[in-house]
Amino acid sequence: MNADAKKSLVLNGSAIVFVALAGAFLLDLWGRPVATVPIVPVAPDFTNTATVRLSAAELVRTGGDASGLDCYVCHEKGKTPVIHFGTNNLVILPKEHEDLVMRHGRNDRNDNCYNCHDADNLDMLKTRDGHKSKITESSRLCGSCHGPTYRDWEVGIHGRTSGFWDRQRGAMVRQDCTSCHDPHSPAFPAMKPGPRPNQLHPEKDVAENGKETH
Ligand code: HEC
Ligand code: HEC
Ligand code: HEC
Ligand code: HEC
C-alpha cells in the first residue's frame, strides 16, 4: 500500500467513526446526565450577624433616636413617679408607657420599676444593693440578680463574643444582655430553624423517597 492509500484509509476510517459517534449522541444511546439542581443561596436573615435586639447602648452608639431614654422630657426632676399596681399585684402602665411589655420571669413579678431604675434619678439604673449605672450600662444590673449567668457571660460561655481574638488587630466585643433580652420581657424570642445543608445528590433522594425533600 502506498502512502496516499494509507492516508485516505485513515481519513475515511476516522470520518466513519465520527459520524457514528454523532449518531450515537443524537440518539442518546448512553443517556444524558441529570441536570444539576441549582443551589439556592440561604435567605439573608439566616446569615445576618446582627443581634435580635437593639440595646440602649447600641442605639446611642449608632446615633439612633434615643429620645425615649430621656425620662426628664416628660417627668419632673425631683419628683418620683408613683407606680400603680392592680388588684392582682401586677403593674398598671400609663398610656405613655403602653409600649412596654412587663413579663419578666415566669410570674411577671419583676415589674417593680425601681428594682432596676433609680427612683431619684430616673435616667439612671440602680441595683438592689445601691450600685448606680447609666441606662446604657445595664449588664451589671442584670448580673446583680443573675449572678451565675453573669459570670458565664463574663467568661464568654453565655451570650456572644465577637470582634478579634488577636487584640492587636482590634477589640473583642461582648454583646450586652439587652442586645438579646428585653429587660422588661427577657424571655429569648423563638427562632426559626435554619435550612439543612444542600445535598450532594438531591435527585437520588427524589427517586428514593418519591418527593422533593428540600
Ligand atoms: C413620653 C413621656 C414619657 C417619657 C419619655 C418617660 N415617661 Fe415615665 N411616665 C410618663 C407618664 C405620663 C406617666 C404617668 C404619670 C406619672 O406617674 O408621672 C409615667 C409613669 C412612669 C412610672 C410610674 C409607672 C406607673 O405604674 O404608673 C415610672 C416608674 C416611669 N414613668 C419611669 C420612666 C423612666 C425610667 C423613663 C426613662 C427611661 C420614663 N419614665 C420616660 C411619661 C413618660
Ligand atoms: C429588670 C430591670 C427593669 C425593670 C423591672 C424595669 N426596667 Fe425599664 N429598663 C431597664 C433597662 C436595663 C433599660 C435599658 C434598655 C436597653 O438597654 O435596651 C430600660 C429602659 C426603659 C425605658 C426606655 C427605653 C424603652 O425600652 O422604652 C423606659 C421608658 C422604662 N425602662 C420604663 C420602665 C417602667 C415604667 C418600668 C416599670 C413598670 C420598668 N422600666 C421596669 C430595666 C428595667
Ligand atoms: C431585681 C432582680 C432582677 C434583675 C435586676 C434582673 N432580673 Fe431577670 N429575673 C429575675 C427573676 C426573679 C426572674 C424569674 C425567675 C423565674 O421565674 O424562675 C428573672 C428571669 C429572667 C429571665 C428568664 C425569663 C424567662 O421567661 O424564662 C431572663 C432571660 C432574665 N431574667 C434576664 C434578665 C436581664 C437581661 C436583666 C437585665 C436587664 C435582668 N434579668 C435583670 C430577677 C431579676
Ligand atoms: C447573644 C445573645 C445573648 C446575650 C448577649 C445574653 N443572653 Fe441570656 N440567653 C440567650 C439565649 C439564646 C438564652 C436561651 C433561651 C432559651 O433557652 O429559650 C438565654 C437565656 C438566659 C436566661 C435564662 C436562664 C438560663 O440561663 O438558661 C437568663 C437568666 C439570661 N439568659 C440572662 C442573661 C444575662 C444576665 C445576660 C448578660 C450578662 C445575657 N443573658 C446575655 C441569649 C443571650
The tens digit of pLDDT for each residue in 133-167 reads 999 999 999 999 999 999 999 999 999 998 898 99
Same domain, 49 and 29: no
What's the 107 CA to ligand 1 centre distance in angstroms? 23
Same domain, 106 and 131: yes
Separation CA 82–CA 76 (nearest Å): 12
Whose C-alpha lies nearest to ligand 1, atom 22?
Answer: 81
Same domain, 140 and 205: no
Block residue for cell numbers 446611642: 60
Average pLDDT over residues 1-7: 88
Separation CA 48–CA 64 (nearest Å): 20
Separation CA 66–CA 8 (nearest Å): 89
Half-sphere CA count of 163, side-chain side, radius 13 A:
14
C-alpha cell at 184: 422588661
Same domain, 96 and 78: yes
The model's confidence at residue 213, banded by pLDDT at 50, 70 and 90, is very low
Average pLDDT over residues 33-60: 87
Same domain, 115 and 151: yes
Q: Which ligand 4 atom minimizes the distance to the CA of 160?
A: 1
Q: pLDDT exceeding 90 applies to what percent of the chain?
A: 65
Whose C-alpha lies nearest to ligand 1, atom 13?
Answer: 94
Same domain, 123 and 202: no
For ligand 1, say whether the CB of 121 is within 6 Å of any of its atoms.
Answer: no
The model's confidence at residue 192, banded by pLDDT at 50, 70 and 90, is confident
Same domain, 62 and 140: yes
Nearest Cα residue to 60 out of 113, 138, 115: 138
The total of structural domains in the chain comes to: 2
Three-state SS at 85: strand
